[in-house]
């Protein structure tokens, strides 16, 4: 017990830890105040005050929890800051100007997406063991060979987590792309053609949207059985109407413009109108919608896998990994929380980026 408690406070004894922590906070707030950064100063100094109160009430351990949380947030903020500067440097002048307006949360989101993309693309090189390779006994604890321990069959948790990026995110991305193409195509068609086709498609979208998404997915999976193509098609049918509605609304505003009228008078066909006139003028809201849509799809697919109706074993998938290791939670182990956290982190990251894009495209509405 003794060596664990010293390790707990960043390798310091409790009193040295408290002293170092408060000194660091006070120095940081003084530096912030000296250089006239009001907001950082307020944040650091209020953290100091809160820490004093918590330290008095909860003792060194509570202080350690707060310090750890603050440390993690500070690390995330610094990584985001550095990543944003990095992106600004490598981007073209125009893009760099946009990136400068990105808040730290959006930069954090981009960083998360970047890391996931790397993990997904290079999974076989990053993962130390195979996806379905049984290397030790069930639920073996973590050691130097296995960063996160073993799962219920003795497979390496960390490797499965890395491979899961590919499978879970890949599946959700495919389904989102399909939903997006179906919805956007139908929406553009409805907006340009109008009339009975518009009405028919809109009613159809209304009906699909009035069934709760998870329930609809379960219904389709019960009929066609859980397999990759069924999941992708079912999920894309469920979410296409959302894209349809947005595309129709956005394109509906563009369609009434004079330049569309001019193009029509020139005798351009529907295909040209959609490709060259309407699409370029409605990309910004569509990109933001793509991000949101991805989050919905990803959460739905994760939910389905968690219920045992998603990607089937032995393929590594985050939702099913939570389900398979759920029993560990009653022993106070956090293993099942890790894949769940991986899901949450990606959705949070995408949401942060989307939030920024929406804010930017809506101007200074709020």
Nearer to other proteins, 273 or 321 (CB): 321
Nearer to other proteins, 203 or 266 (CB): 203
Q: Would you count residue 43 as binding other proteins (CB under 8 A)? A: yes
CB crowding 67-83: b at 16 or more within 10 Å, else e: beebeeeeebeebbeeb
Q: Would you count residue 162 as binding other proteins (CB under 8 A)? A: no
Count other Cβ atoms within 10 Å, centred on residue 33: 15
Q: Would you count residue 45 as binding other proteins (CB under 8 A)? A: no
Among 295, 321, 353, 357, binds other proteins (CB under 8 A): 295
Among 214, 230, 263, 279, binds other proteins (CB under 8 A): 214
Q: Would you count residue 70 as binding other proteins (CB under 8 A)? A: no
Residue with tokens 């603050």: 70
Measured from the CB of residue 130, what is the shortest distance to other proteins in angstroms? 27
Measured from the CB of residue 207, what is the shortest distance to other proteins in angstroms? 5
Nearer to other proteins, 15 or 227 (CB): 227
Triad 117, 123, 129: Cα angle to 5°: 155
Nearer to other proteins, 43 or 274 (CB): 43
Among 44, 221, 231, 278, binds other proteins (CB under 8 A): 221
Distance (Å, whole) CA 366 – CA 360:
11
Omega of the bond leading into 314 within 30 degrees of 0 (cis): yes
Nearer to other proteins, 105 or 136 (CB): 105
Among 85, 98, 143, 206, binds other proteins (CB under 8 A): 206
Among 213, 236, 247, 282, binds other proteins (CB under 8 A): 213
Residues 311-330 that bind other proteins (CB under 8 A): 319, 322, 326, 329-330
Distance (Å, whole) CA 51 – CA 49:
5
Classify residue 90 by burial, with Cβ atoms within 10 Å: 0-12, 13-18, 19+.
Answer: exposed
Longest Cα–Cα distance in the chain: 84
Q: Would you count residue 139 as binding other proteins (CB under 8 A)? A: no
Nearer to other proteins, 284 or 307 (CB): 307
Q: Would you count residue 96 as binding other proteins (CB under 8 A)? A: no
Both structure tokens of 8? 């707990």
Asked if 113 and 353 touch (Cβ cutoff 8 Å), the reply is yes
Nearer to other proteins, 187 or 336 (CB): 336
Radius of gyration of the chain (CA): 25
Q: For other proteins, what does the binding mask look like between residues 328 and 357, x meaning CB under 8 A?
A: -xxxx-x-xx--xx-xx--xx-xxx--x--
Q: Would you count residue 212 as binding other proteins (CB under 8 A)? A: yes
Q: With the CA atoms of 213, 218, 219 and 223 taken in that order, what torsion angle do they form, in degrees rounded to the nearest 10?
A: 140
Q: Would you count residue 106 as binding other proteins (CB under 8 A)? A: no
- Give the ranges where the chain is alpha helix by DSSP (H): 2-8, 14-34, 38-90, 93-100, 104-121, 123-126, 157-164, 170-193, 195-209, 213-224, 228-255, 258-265, 270-272, 283-306, 318-324, 337-361
Point out which residues bind other proteins (CB under 8 A). Answer: 39, 42-43, 105, 206-207, 210-216, 218-224, 295, 299, 302-303, 306-309, 319, 322, 326, 329-332, 334, 336-337, 340-341, 343-344, 347-348, 350-352, 355, 365-366
């Amino acid at each position: 017990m003794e060596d664990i408690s010293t390790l707990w406070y960043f390798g310091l004894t409790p009193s040295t830890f408290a002293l170092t922590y408060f000194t660091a906070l006070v120095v940081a707030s003084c530096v912030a105040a000296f250089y006239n950064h009001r907001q950082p100063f307020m944040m650091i100094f209020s953290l100091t005050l809160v820490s004093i109160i918590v330290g008095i009430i909860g003792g060194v351990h509570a202080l350690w929890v707060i310090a750890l949380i603050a440390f993690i947030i500070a690390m995330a903020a610094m990584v985001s800051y550095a990543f944003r500067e990095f992106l600004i440097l490598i981007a073209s002048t125009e893009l760099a100007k946009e990136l400068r307006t990105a808040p730290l949360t959006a930069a954090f989101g981009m960083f998360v997406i970047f890391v996931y993309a790397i993990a997904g693309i290079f999974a076989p090189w990053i993962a130390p063991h195979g996806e379905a390779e049984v290397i030790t006994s069930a639920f073996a604890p973590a050691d130097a060979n296995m960063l996160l321990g073993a799962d219920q069959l003795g497979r390496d948790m960390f490797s499965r987590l890395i491979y899961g990026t590919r499978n879970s995110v890949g599946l959700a991305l495919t389904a989102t792309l399909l939903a997006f193409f179906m919805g956007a195509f139908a929406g553009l068609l409805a907006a340009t053609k109008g009339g009975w086709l518009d009405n028919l498609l809109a009613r159809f979208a209304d009906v699909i949207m009035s069934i709760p998404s998870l329930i609809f997915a379960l219904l389709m999976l019960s009929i066609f059985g859980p397999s990759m193509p069924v999941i992708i098609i079912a999920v894309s049918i469920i979410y296409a109407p959302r894209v349809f509605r947005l595309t129709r609304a956005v394109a509906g505003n563009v369609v009434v413009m004079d330049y569309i009228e001019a193009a029509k008078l020139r005798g351009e066909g529907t295909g040209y109108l959609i490709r060259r006139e309407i699409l370029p003028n409605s990309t910004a809201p569509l990109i933001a919608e793509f991000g949101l849509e991805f989050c919905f799809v990803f959460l739905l697919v994760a939910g389905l896998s968690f219920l045992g109706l998603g990607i089937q074993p032995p393929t590594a998938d985050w939702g099913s990994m939570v389900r398979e290791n759920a029993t560990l939670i009653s022993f106070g182990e956090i293993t099942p929380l890790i894949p769940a956290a991986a899901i949450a982190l990606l959705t949070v990251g995408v949401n942060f980026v989307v939030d920024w894009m929406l804010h930017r495209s809506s101007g200074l509405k709020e």
